[in-house]
Chains A and B, each alone.
Chain A
């Protein structure tokens, strides 16, 4: 469904309890679409969900009570056969995530994500949450902490992840293309998850002024240092591996281009796949090269 990121954020900010809104931020396509709304001339983006990262300190278990509060305010579950609630016997990794439709707005749902602890090594952890006696999970991605670095203010009552940090998190999440495909089709194609995420990196790079891209290196190093004090050099050195793999795989590159143009960050800009791929060179020249140097030197 095509929606304006500003409308989504304004609606969420109004519908979330103030405390929860304060402890949350928006990430993903809605955040990116909002950040670049001027350059996109306030076009709509295609989205089905808004990633809401909740950065409560310590445990995320309290989200059970928060979810009950949302349901009492008119939010509705987005459940399916695959996403039916579990019980105390269900393994955490088999539990459904908390997906809720906001009141009085159709077309998208929110999904709660958690922040990892510093240095988390698991790619994806699951934290159990009980809502009205049924069990759900909060996914905690290894690199989600990077998203909370230098949060930006929408001015609408919600913060959002800096696109520069979304790029870093996506790059680190996909050192290889892998074989995992999206659950739903994008423009008629079941694309590789990695192609979609790396495509978003290239789309963000295409929309960001070069001078700004060059300023990412320092912030990336600081954020890596904070979230991965032991591994930051190794991680930094691996940041370009996914893009290298994308350039070697033409069909994955076309999928990345397809998702970036279809979902809304690049429509109307008439970026060819060849031009799209050249953003890898821009990133390598302006930020990934200097990052590699910093990680090797330190």
Chain B
């Protein structure tokens, strides 16, 4: 699985970020680090990490250099360098020049692209601290792989909607994952006694899967990788304005989540005001840079956890968005709404919404 490093300590002169595409940021914000450390990451994971780093760089002019720190036992330096160069050459020069790739091999061997960054103090420090060994050795903290996480979310959406049992084939179509990934997820959920297999090879959840749900909530920030935006002019969030802009632009593959969607799912949703606009982009939906440039180019990415976010964007990895079909723009599925609420620390409101959805589906 892809692991964003959860560091026990930050490098000297750096602080950890709680959100956004980067893990650590220097005090002045000019140098950022993004860790991708796992035994089994492949080329697709590297491509995704490069693009994510590029988007982060593009959205924050303070960043002078963003280092993607990579370690995967499945990929040699030669292969990693080849993949890096393949993708990097597609990026605008202004972004590419502000990015660097740090590959770690066995025994803290370091290779870099461009090679000049090898001499940077931060890179030397990474090698010295042994931080990478420490992080790589950490077991997965919550026990949910990205595959299981996504299959679980789809099953939960279907269950909350009262859609009835589904087949492995349909799950493969909805998630866009391979048969072994989906079958493995089904196996794991059955082992947890949260899923039952029916006669016609179909499956469904047996109830609200509280154990896996708690794990999903815990890992969501890591897997959904929300990108948070603030108004660069320091204005307070204006979610209604951004919603109006979104409606005017009619962007494809973008759904509304968060508090606005929660109110549509539950008329008596108990929260006054709308703290921010949460959007989810489907895997084939409008790209994030286009979305921002069309609805409000004055927004900028923020990694400050205490900031008042105007807009938060989540991206779906699966093939089908499962958005509610009506509405301009449509609202996202109830599971994404619940995860948005948890991300905002609106725990009580999320619990109330779960109860409401269960009552609505007559599942209590």
Contacts and interface: CB of A to CB of B under 8 A. Distances in A.
Interface in A183-215: 206, 209-211
A281 B232 contact: yes
A211 B238 CA distance: 9
Given A285-B297, A285-B298, A211 B240 contact: yes
Given A206-B233, A211-B244, A282 B298 contact: yes
Contacts of A285: 296-298
B71 to A, nearest CB: 37
A211 B240 CA distance: 9
A270 B297 CA distance: 23
Interface stretch (A84-92, A108-116, A150-158, A271-279): A271-279
B296 A211 contact: no
Interface in B312-339: none
A211 B233 contact: no
A271 B234 contact: yes
A269 to B, nearest CB: 8
B201 interface: no
Contact of A278 (B238, B241, B244, B298): B298
A41 to B, nearest CB: 14
A206 B298 CA distance: 13
B233 A282 contact: yes
Interface string B202-226: 0000000000000000000000000
Contacts of B89: none
Contacts of A282: 231, 233, 235, 298
Contacts of B240: 211
A210 B238 contact: yes
Contacts of A275: 232-234
Interface in B35-49: none
Nearest to B297: A285
Interface in A260-290: 269-272, 275-276, 278-279, 281-282, 285
Interface in B140-185: none
A282 B235 CA distance: 10
Contacts, number: 40
A272 B232 CA distance: 11
B230 to A, nearest CB: 10
B241 A281 contact: no
A86 to B, nearest CB: 46
A278 B233 CA distance: 5
Contacts of B235: 206, 210, 282
A211 B241 CA distance: 6
A282 B233 CA distance: 8
Dominant secondary structure at the A interface: helix
A271 B296 CA distance: 20
A281 B233 contact: yes
Nearest to B233: A278
Contacts of A279: 233
Interface in B220-260: 231-235, 238, 240-241, 244
Nearest to A202: B233
A235 B168 CA distance: 65
B30 to A, nearest CB: 15
Contacts of B241: 209-211
A272 B241 CA distance: 23
Contacts of B244: 211
Interface string A230-274: 000000000000000000000000000000000000000111100
B168 to A, nearest CB: 47
A276 B233 contact: yes
A285 B234 CA distance: 16
Contact of A272 (B231, B234, B238, B297): B234
Nearest to B244: A211
Contacts of B234: 206, 269-272, 275-276, 278
A209 B231 CA distance: 12
Nearest to A275: B234
Interface string B111-150: 0000000000000000000000000000000000000000
Contacts of B298: 278, 281-282, 285
Contacts of A209: 238, 241
A270 B235 CA distance: 11
Contacts of A270: 234
Nearest to A272: B234
Nearest to B234: A275
Nearest to B296: A285
Contacts of A276: 233-234
Contacts of A211: 238, 240-241, 244
B209 to A, nearest CB: 41
A269 B235 CA distance: 9
Give the one of B233, B241, B244, B297 with max A CB within 10 A.
B233
Interface string B259-285: 000000000000000000000000000
Contacts of B297: 281, 285
Contacts of A271: 233-234
Nearest to A213: B241
Given A275-B233, A281-B232, 14 more contacts: A206-B234, A210-B235, A210-B238, A210-B241, A210-B296, A211-B241, A211-B244, A269-B234, A272-B234, A276-B234, A279-B233, A281-B233, A285-B297, A285-B298
15 contacts: A206-B234, A206-B235, A210-B235, A210-B238, A210-B241, A210-B296, A270-B234, A271-B233, A271-B234, A278-B233, A278-B234, A278-B298, A282-B235, A285-B296, A285-B298
Interface of B: 231-235, 238, 240-241, 244, 296-298
Q: 8 tightest A-B contacts by CB?
A: A275-B234, A278-B233, A278-B232, A210-B241, A281-B298, A279-B233, A211-B241, A282-B298
